[in-house]
Chains A and B, each alone.
Chain A
Amino acid sequence: MTFYEGIITITIVSVATMLTRFLPFLIFKSGKLQSGYMNYVGRALPPAVFAMLVIYCFKGMSFAAPSGFLSQLIATAVVVILHLAFRRTLLSVAAGTAVYLLLVNLFFV
């Protein structure tokens, strides 16, 4: 991607993000949602999208050799266990990333 393509991509992401924030203020007069359908999609999308994003993060995993997936698997397990135990986002993310950094840089080079 060239410099200008990067600028265009950032602009698109920025404008699209603004769109999701300004749209309701532009089209709805009050905070009472008229359509149960919108409510339903709005409730369903976030969990589905974050499941997709997790898959997106793991898309490059390869099962041909242990180095292709073991670090990610172990570090993800650390994140899940810590988060279920303490439910502190910072702790889970920091510890998981630290474990991953150690694994990929020291053990699975």
Chain B
Amino acid sequence: MKNTKKANKSVHLSALKAAFPHTVPIMAGFLFLGASYGVLMASEGFSFLYPMATSILVFAGSMEFALAGLLLGGFDPLSALILTLMINSRHIFYGISMIDKYKGMGLKKIYMIFSLCDETFSVAYTAEPPPTVDRGWFTFYISLLDHSYWVIGATLGGIFGSLIPLGIVGFDFAMTALFVVILLEQLMKEGNLLFVIIGGLSSVLALLVFGQDSFIIPAMLLMLLAIVLTRSVVDKDKSQREEPS
């Protein structure tokens, strides 16, 4: 009994030790961005319990920033649902890529799927544990460490954000800056320009027609429609690359 317990403990310890170095680059980012999210929530008058709870329960950075906006607006469950599905749709493709890697990992797999954010995916998909370390627990601790950094950052931001003098405004720009950076990164990937234009034009059009309080859903429908319609164009481009258009 005692021996299995000891062996079990060393499995965890060695997995945690092997996982930690892979998460260090993410630690800085998550502590800072998490803290910005916490400060933003505090500056809008929310208790630190909000950023703490949402960073535990949602754990999808850009969605949490968007959630801050949702909580400040009027009650609109349908928009909240559709916005979440659209922003987080990329998770579906992370999941598909991890199906084989997460096979046979038992109960901890449930937590690993629950916490599969962009950064955890990029590390868990590529990082190789040393041969003596259990792969399942290695990936589990990568997920847990990343999640913890974000929760710690958001909670501290929420606590200390309330110390910021009243009347200082503009912390919400952290969200704008983050989205601009992600958009730039998307633009640097080949073939994405068309989709950025589609997303931008659909949104501007919907904003002009429906106004700023109710443009999100029409913008998303328009965007989906345009994406579906351009598929034939994109594919045609591929098959008729030689022909001038």
A contacts, CB < 8 Å to B: 1-2, 5-6, 8-10, 12-14, 16-25, 28-31, 33, 37, 40-60, 71-72, 75-76, 79-80, 83-84, 89-90, 92-94, 96-97, 100-101, 103-105
Contacts and interface: CB of A to CB of B under 8 A. Distances in A.
Contacts of A103: 170
Contact of B71 (A1, A53, A54, A60): A1
Question: Chain B's interface: helix, strand, loop or mixed, by majority?
Answer: helix
B207 A59 contact: yes
Q: Which residue among B94, B98, B173, B195 has the maximum number of chain A CB atoms within 10 Å of its CB?
A: B173
Given A17-B84, A48-B199, A55-B204, A6 B173 contact: no
Contacts of B231: 37, 40
10 contacts: A28-B96, A45-B90, A45-B195, A47-B192, A50-B183, A51-B183, A57-B176, A83-B184, A100-B176, A100-B177
Given A97-B171, A105-B169, A10 B183 contact: no
B231 to A, nearest CB: 6
B196 A31 contact: no
Given A90-B29, A96-B173, A60 B220 contact: no
A79 B177 contact: yes
Given A52-B199, A56-B203, A101-B171, A23 B97 contact: no
Contacts of A54: 176, 179-180, 183, 200
Of all A-B residue pairs in the complex, the 4 with the closest CB atoms, nearest first, are A48-B199, A51-B199, A24-B95, A16-B84
Interface in B50-107: 53-54, 57-60, 62-63, 66-67, 69-75, 77, 80-81, 84-100, 102
